[in-house]
Each structure stands twice: as structure tokens, then as C-alpha cells.
């Protein structure tokens, strides 16, 4: 299904296994992205406020601080074992979330979910690095990252429908079953004999100084996305009268536009240049953020601007990943792990900030924060581009 978008010049092992990797990534993304659109529904189920549940999200996202350690572990170990360990922990974490009796257990489940997803995602990207030259990674990473968009209108939509029919706990259980099946497909498909780190990848690597620009960009970019991603559910419920089914429709539309961004990135990032591609996505976010802020009370303006904002984020993120993985060419897991860690730290901090702003001043607060962070991301990636000259 996905491998047909690659020509036969790619390694046979990549062509053979791309589909199962993308589907596993899709399911893991769906489990990870399910809670934010339904944060108000889950909060009611746990008898807490949106801001209190936002703290649980923040605790979960702090797992991203483990990313550098996880990245070094992956660089020295077996990629397949790392991926399967990540899948096992992902499945366990989603089950914990499904049965969580209170906010504390839910927060622990979010922490395990975030840390295990870092392990799985980084293992997958480093496996790709082992088999695809840097100058050709933009296309294949773009294809893999379509799973982020597909996870919305396939995975999250399915879990959301299950929520509307039964409960949010049933939605999580559906994700756990799908994750277990995905792990089985990876275990039976990927070869074990080339899943170890190649000799050159276990060299000790040093992050260049200009890598700080990428880490800052990831922190700001992911924080910006989280500001709207975690609050648009209650925003649309409170301001526009949306129900769970209405939110599912928005989720599907967001997924369609994210998919377009991922496909677009996979086609043009290597041609435009990865830094320019990130910048163009972030500029789209900033423009949409301004209009979204001005029109936050009007559905005809707020909804399309939210969609453009999310599409710009997806384009920028997909374009940034190959840069991150090549910061330390001899040890891709280090640069990628630090970038993911910075990004998840941004998500962690702004999970709490955005929900607190929402409870304090309504949707205007998160919209302003998202816009400011997008502008700061543009400045950071511009600094990285200048450092390369």
C-alpha cells in the first residue's frame, strides 16, 4: 500500500516492510492522539476539571526527557528488539489508561505511553537511517509520517466512534488491541539478522552547537501544536455546541489535511531543502494563528484556520525529522532523541499552560499562545539556516 510510492532503487528490506511499519506507527499515533480531542469527555469520566487533566497530560509528556537516554540505547542495540519492546509498553500503557480509576493512575499511564512511544518511534526512524541514505530520507520519512495524519481519520476516528457508542474506556481498549496486532506483524516480518546497529553507528557522537536551534525549534513547534490540539475539543463544545460526533468530524477533516501535508512534504522537502520546508510550514501556522485568534468566537473563521494551522505544523514537523536524525551522522539516535525530548518537553509544559489558559480566559488564551510560539519557531529555524552558511 505505502511501498508503491517508492521506486525499486530503495533497499528490498525497506520495500518489503514499509507497510507494516507505517501501520504500526499509525496505531501508536492513534493511541497517543486519542485523548486530547476528548479531554472534556475523559475529564467528566474521571470527575476532574480540564485543567486538572491537563496536569496529567503534562506529567505524561515529561517522559520525553528520557529521549536522549533512549536514543543512545537504540544506537547501541538491536532495532527490532527496541521496536518490539516499545510496542509491548505501548499496549500496556493504553490498557492502564482504559482502566484508570483516578487521575493519578491516568497520569502514570500517560507517562508510560509517552516514554514507550519515544522508544518505538526513535527505533523505527533509526532503522530507516540504517537502510536509506540521508539525501533520500525526506521522501521515506514523509511517507512514514503520513501515519500521523492517518491516525486521526482512521485510528482516532474509530476510537472516537467507540467512545460515542460506549465510553472513552472502550476507545482506549480498541487501541490496545490494534497495537498488539501491529506488534505481532512487526515481529513476524522484519528480519532479525540486520536489526543490529551497523559498526559506524555505534561511534561516540557529539552534537554540534547549531543543533540547539533544532532542539529549540522542536520545543516551540510541539508546544505550539499542543496549545490548540489539547483545547480545541472543549473550545468547540463550549463555543460552538459540538458533541462527540461533531468532534469526530473535525478530527477526520484535520486528518485529511494532515495527510495532504505529509504527502506534500515527502514530495518537495528534498527539492526545496529541509530548512526552507520547515520555515514555510511554520509561516503558514503563524498566519493561521493570527486569524484564528481574531476569529476565535466565529466558527466560519476559527475552524478553517485551525485546520490550516495543524496542516502547517504537520508539514514543518515532517520536514524537520531528517534534519534531527542527521545532526550526529554517526549516531542518528542521539540527535533524534534530543529533538524528540525537546519536543515532548514543549508538549508537556504547554499541556498545562494551554488548559490553564483555557480555564482562565477561554479559547483566546491558547490561540494567542499558539501564535506566539509559531513565530518563535520561525526565528529558531531561521537561526539554524544562517548557521549553515
- Mean pLDDT, rounded, for 183-201: 70
Residue 343 maps to a domain: yes
In a domain, residue 200? The reply is no
Task: Using alpha carbons, select from 274, 275, 256 the residue that is nearest to residue 266.
Answer: 274
| CATH number, domain with residue 71 | 1.20.1250.20
Do the domain assignments include residue 76?
yes
Residue 246 exposure: Cα atoms within 13 Å on the Cβ side: 14
| Inside any domain, residue 152 | yes
Cell numbers of 61, please?
A: 509528556
Per-range mean pLDDT, top range of 50-59, 221-230, 237-246: 221-230
Q: What is the domain extent for residue 369?
A: 10-191+205-387
Is residue 193 scored above 70 in pLDDT? no
Number of domains in the chain: 1
Given a cut of 90, whether residue 77 has pLDDT beyond it is no
Bridge partners (DSSP) of residue 78 are: 196
Of 258, 246, 315, 261, whose CA–CA distance to 30 is shortest? 258
Residue 106 counted as domain residue: yes
Instruction: Convert the pLDDT of each residue in 316-357 to its tens digit.
Output: 998 898 888 788 766 656 777 788 778 888 988 898 899 999
In a domain, 58, yes or no: yes
Give me the pLDDT at residue 190, please.
83
Domain assignment present for 197: no
- Given this model, what pLDDT does residue 205 score? 60
8 Å CB contact between 327 and 335: yes
In 3D space, the residue among 218, 202, 68, 196 whose CA is nearest the CA of residue 127 turns out to be 196
d(CA 175, CA 66): 24
Model pLDDT, residue 89 = 97
| pLDDT at site 201 | 45
- Confirm whether 175 is domain-assigned: yes
Give the mean model confidence (pLDDT) for residues 206-225.
91
Segments in 190-243 forming alpha helices (H)? 211-229, 232-240
Amino acid at each position: 500500500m505505502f511501498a508503491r510510492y517508492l521506486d525499486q532503487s530503495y533497499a528490498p528490506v525497506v520495500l518489503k516492510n514499509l507497510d507494516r511499519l507505517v501501520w504500526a506507527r499509525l496505531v501508536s499515533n492513534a493511541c497517543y492522539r486519542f485523548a486530547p480531542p476528548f479531554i472534556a469527555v475523559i475529564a467528566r469520566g474521571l470527575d476532574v476539571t480540564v485543567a486538572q487533566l491537563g496536569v496529567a497530560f503534562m506529567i505524561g509528556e515529561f517522559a520525553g526527557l528520557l529521549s536522549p537516554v533512549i536514543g543512545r540505547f537504540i544506537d547501541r542495540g538491536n532495532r527490532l528488539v527496541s521496536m518490539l519492546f516499545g510496542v509491548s509498553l505501548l499496549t500496556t500503557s493504553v490498557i492502564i489508561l482504559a482502566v484508570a480509576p483516578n487521575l493519578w493512575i491516568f497520569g502514570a499511564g500517560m507517562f508510560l505511553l509517552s516514554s514507550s512511544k519515544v522508544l518505538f518511534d526513535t527505533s523505527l526512524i533509526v532503522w530507516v537511517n540504517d537502510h536509506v541514505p540521508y539525501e533520500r530520507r525526506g521522501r521515506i520519512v514523509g511517507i512514514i509520517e503520513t501515519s500521523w495524519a492517518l491516525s486521526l481519520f482512521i485510528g482516532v476516528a474509530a476510537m472516537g466512534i467507540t467512545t460515542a457508542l460506549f465510553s472513552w474506556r472502550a476507545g482506549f481498549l480498541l487501541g490496545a488491541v490494534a497495537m498488539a496486532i501491529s506488534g505481532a506483524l512487526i515481529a513476524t516480518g522484519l528480519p532479525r539478522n540486520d536489526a543490529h546497529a551497523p559498526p559506524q553507528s555505534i561511534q561516540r557522537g557529539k552534537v554540534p552547537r547549531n543543533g540547539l536551534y533544532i532542539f529549540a525549534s522542536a520545543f516551540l513547534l510541539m508546544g505550539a501544536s499542543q496549545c490548540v490540539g489539547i483545547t480545541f475539543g472543549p473550545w468547540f463544545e463550549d463555543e460552538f455546541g459540538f458533541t462527540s460526533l461533531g468532534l469526530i468530524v473535525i478530527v477526520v477533516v484535520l486528518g485529511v489535511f494532515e495527510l495532504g501535508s505529509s504527502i506534500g512534504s515527502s514530495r518537495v522537502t528534498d527539492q526545496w531543502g529541509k530548512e526552507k520546508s520547515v520555515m514555510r510550514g511554520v509561516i503558514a501556522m503563524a498566519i493561521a494563528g493570527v486569524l484564528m485568534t481574531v476569529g476565535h468566537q466565529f466558527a466560519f473563521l476559527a475552524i478553517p484556520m485551525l485546520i490550516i494551522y495543524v496542516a502547517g505544523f504537520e508539514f514543518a514537523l515532517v520536514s524537520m525529522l531528517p534534519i534531527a536524525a542527521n545532526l550526529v551522522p554517526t549516531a542518528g539516535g542521539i540527535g533524534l532523541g534530543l529533538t524528540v525530548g525537546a519536543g515532548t518537553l514543549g508538549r508537556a509544559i504547554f499541556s498545562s499552560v494551554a488548559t490553564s489558559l483555557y480555564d482562565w480566559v477561554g479559547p483566546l488564551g491558547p490561540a494567542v499562545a499558539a501564535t506566539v510560539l509559531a513565530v518563535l519557531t520561525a526565528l529558531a529555524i531561521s537561526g539554524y539556516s544562517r548557521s549553515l552558511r
